[in-house]
Amino acid sequence: MSKAMQNLSRRFPKLVDSAIKAAFTNRGFLSWNQGIEMWTIDRPVASCTHCTSFCRRNCYTNKAYVQYHHIMPTSDIKNEYRWNLMTGEALADEIHRKNKRARSRKVERVRFCSKGEPFSELSDIGRIKSIGMENPEVLFWIPTRSWRREAFRERIETELLQYPNLRIMASIDPSNSIDEVQMIDKASWSKMFFGIDNVEEAEKVFGIKFAKCPKTHEGLHGSCQMCNLCFAAERINVHLKKH
């Protein structure tokens, strides 16, 4: 059992059994995110073991926890339960079934995680490696804060960056130092930044160049499904504007 699941079980013991029982009712590991018009695999905020103080204060999910406070605990338990059962082979089977019957919404791109942290624990690295290996035709967009921990960073660099369908991006914000960002830049990581809306100011702070995210800068609906910035094979730094 993951640490996030242990956390949720302690906090919401009365919800665990019913949530687990209904975890795969009418859905699988993937969920459709209407905001970015993309398939996602989500986890609860309880999995965010590498978050910064800025990230915690400004997380977009905070709004959901306020607005949907009555259903979020159950949703979190379901998401984390599914995560713990997910393997590359099981996800490949679901993707095959979806693509076989879908006229639209084909599974060609998937985001880890529109909420939560994909590399919450070191064991998650093996899980995502399996997913990349078993689903070579699918592009996985994987923003992460785990680069802040040396053990995670080294294993991701050694075991995952070689897979061309795993688009792993170091998530950074104004609480990160220029030394941290320069370090991850020299290690050839792609990066995704949020927290300073003025691109030129952000570039000056960190000493790197950014490409503007068309969804957040131009309001292009559904652009994540077509845009090649976060899905670029080469190293790239993407700037997200508050939206």
Q: Would you say residue 220 has pLDDT above 80?
A: no
pLDDT at 208: 94
pLDDT at 224: 84
| Residue 3: partners with Cβ closer than 8 Å, 6 or more residues away | 49, 120, 121
Cα-based angle 101, 107, 112 (whole degrees, multiple of 5): 145
pLDDT at 83: 98
pLDDT at 68: 78
What integer is the mean pLDDT of 28-56? 93
pLDDT band at residue 219, thresholds of 50, 70 and 90? confident
C-alpha distances in Å from residue 102, one per residue of 41, 55, 96, 98, 212: 18, 36, 10, 6, 32
pLDDT at 222: 66
pLDDT band at residue 66, thresholds of 50, 70 and 90? confident
C-alpha distances in Å from residue 242, one per residue of 116, 133, 142, 209, 216: 19, 34, 20, 18, 7
Q: What percent of the chain has pLDDT over 70?
A: 98
Q: Would you say residue 124 has pLDDT above 70?
A: yes
Q: Would you say residue 71 has pLDDT above 70?
A: yes
pLDDT at 132: 97
pLDDT, tens only, 90-113: 999 999 999 998 777 899 999 998
pLDDT, tens only, 162-171: 999 999 999 9
Any alpha helices (H) in 26-162, and if so which ranges? Answer: 53-58, 61-67, 72-85, 88-101, 123-134, 150-159
Lowest mean pLDDT among 150-154, 198-202, 221-225: 221-225
Q: What is the mean pLDDT of the chain?
A: 93
Question: 240 and 194 in contact (C-beta within 8 Å)?
Answer: yes
Lowest mean pLDDT among 38-52, 65-79, 210-224: 210-224
